[in-house]
């Protein structure tokens, strides 16, 4: 049970999640990863946080590769967790829940003639790889009368090198619930490789962790991609994650994520307006809106100075970015990634490169 949440008081008691993270593979099959297990753990933390997904931890299954011992999980182990929803739905004849999250992090491949993404399982051999096909799995679940919404996130590469049997051991499509919704979010577009790097823990910025750039941006977006209505939706999340990923990668090696959803129907809502208002101060909501537009907060500590100028780093032209005073001598400025120069009256010019992560500067 989550700390501070009594049984029956979860914000999303009927949501479920299956979360997979694989760092370790057989020698010669795939190089070990640093961030996939962290990705999975962080997504689980978001899922069960009262200010995050609000799920009952009993409804969240976390499947991780161990640091040593057997090479697990396999496709059968992952699909066994999914089959429980089929068993429950077929036995009761009733929907299983409102929403299912599928989150998979690890090495991945894509079919050479399709648009899916598959997680390579830990027990795989090469040629062909053994995989869990993400999009096909999510679609087979959605096309059963089990969930109103199925959300898939694949923090994986979509390399097309190497053949694999792209299939699913789950029953084929049945009759979905009326107006069922879906969101598929993939770390990169077809035939591209995902990037992992050391980034701040989304819940403890003082701690650096290896993560995929995609999952780092995703969790930030699920917490703060607030639209003009005060909600975090599949549409605002898609736009936020694309901007954040591109802000965290160099311009000459930019690998935007790929999202699929039905934009002809109302979007999936991850955070309602009333919940946002209750959980956030007006200043925090404003910060989230700036972040949704791809702007990064930079806190400027200027002592007694109050008139801070922001200049373009190349032309030294004066800019007029969103700015708010947070305390005496402290100003928060919202900027796109790039090179800037800060100046206070009587002080020297201070060049600063904004990389897409919140930072602070003393001038």
Quick: pLDDT tens for 208-256: 999 999 999 999 999 999 999 999 999 999 999 999 999 899 888 889 9
Structure tokens at 330: 């402290």
pLDDT at 257: 97
**Residue ranges per structural domain of the chain:** 15-289, 295-362
pLDDT at 282: 56
- CA dihedral 84→89→94→96, nearest 10 degrees, is 30
Structure tokens at 124: 């795989």
pLDDT at 91: 95
The beta-strand segments (E) located in 116-193 are 118-120, 131-133, 147-155, 181-186
Quick: pLDDT tens for 274-308: 555 555 555 665 666 676 677 888 888 877 666 78
Coil, strand or helix at 141: helix
pLDDT at 275: 59
Q: CATH number of 295-362: 3.30.379.10, 3.10.180.10, 3.40.30.10, 2.60.40.1120? A: 2.60.40.1120
Tell me the C-alpha distance between 208 and 119, whole Å: 25
Q: Is the pTM higher than 0.85?
A: no
69: left (phi over 0), alpha (psi -120 to 50) or beta: left
Closest CA to 333 of 294, 279, 297: 297
Do the beta carbons of residue 33 and residue 106 sit within 8 Å?
A: yes
Q: CATH number of 15-289: 3.40.50.1460, 3.30.470.20, 3.40.50.720, 3.40.190.10? A: 3.40.50.1460
The low-confidence residues of the chain, meaning pLDDT below 50, are: 1-7
pLDDT at 5: 43
- CA dihedral 151→157→160→161, nearest 10 degrees, is -150
pLDDT at 358: 77
Do the beta carbons of residue 97 and residue 14 sit within 8 Å?
A: yes
The beta-strand segments (E) located in 121-220 are 131-133, 147-155, 181-186, 196-201, 204-212
* Tokens 């060049």 belong to residue: 351
């Amino acid at each position: 049970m989550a700390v501070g949440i009594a049984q029956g008081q979860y914000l999303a008691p009927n949501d479920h999640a299956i979360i997979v993270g694989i760092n370790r593979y057989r020698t010669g099959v795939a190089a070990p990863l640093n961030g996939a297990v962290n990705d999975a753990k962080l997504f689980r933390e978001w899922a069960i946080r009262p200010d995050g997904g609000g799920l009952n931890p009993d409804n969240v299954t976390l499947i991780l590769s161990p640091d040593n011992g057997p090479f697990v999980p396999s496709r059968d182990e992952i699909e066994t967790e999914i089959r429980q929803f089929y068993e429950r739905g077929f036995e009761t004849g009733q929907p299983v829940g409102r929403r299912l999250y599928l989150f998979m992090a690890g090495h991945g491949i894509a079919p050479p003639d399709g648009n899916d993404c598959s997680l390579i399982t830990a027990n795989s051999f090469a040629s062909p790889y053994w995989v869990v096909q993400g999009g096909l799995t999510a679609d087979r679940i959605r096309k059963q009368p089990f969930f109103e919404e199925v959300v898939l996130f694949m923090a994986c590469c979509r390399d097309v090198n190497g053949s694999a049997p792209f299939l699913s051991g789950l029953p084929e499509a049945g009759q979905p619930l009326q107006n069922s919704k879906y969101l598929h979010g993939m770390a990169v577009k077809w035939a591209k490789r995902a990037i992992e790097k050391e980034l701040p823990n989304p819940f403890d910025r003082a701690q650096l962790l290896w993560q995929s750039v995609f999952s780092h941006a995703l969790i930030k977006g699920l917490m703060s991609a607030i639209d003009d209505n005060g909600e975090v939706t599949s549409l605002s999340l898609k736009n936020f994650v694309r901007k954040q990923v591109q802000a965290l990668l160099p311009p000459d090696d930019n690998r935007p994520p790929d999202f699929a959803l039905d934009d002809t129907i109302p979007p999936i809502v991850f955070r309602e307006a009333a919940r946002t208002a209750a959980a956030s101060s007006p200043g925090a909501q404003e910060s989230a809106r700036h972040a949704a537009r791809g702007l990064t907060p930079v806190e400027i500590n200027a002592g007694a100075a109050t008139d801070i100028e922001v200049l373009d780093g190349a032309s030294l032209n004066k800019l007029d970015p969103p700015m708010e005073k947070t305390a005496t001598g402290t100003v928060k400025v919202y900027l796109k990634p790039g090179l800037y120069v800060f100046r206070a009256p009587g002080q020297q010019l201070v060049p600063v490169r904004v990389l897409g992560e919140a930072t602070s500067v003393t001038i």
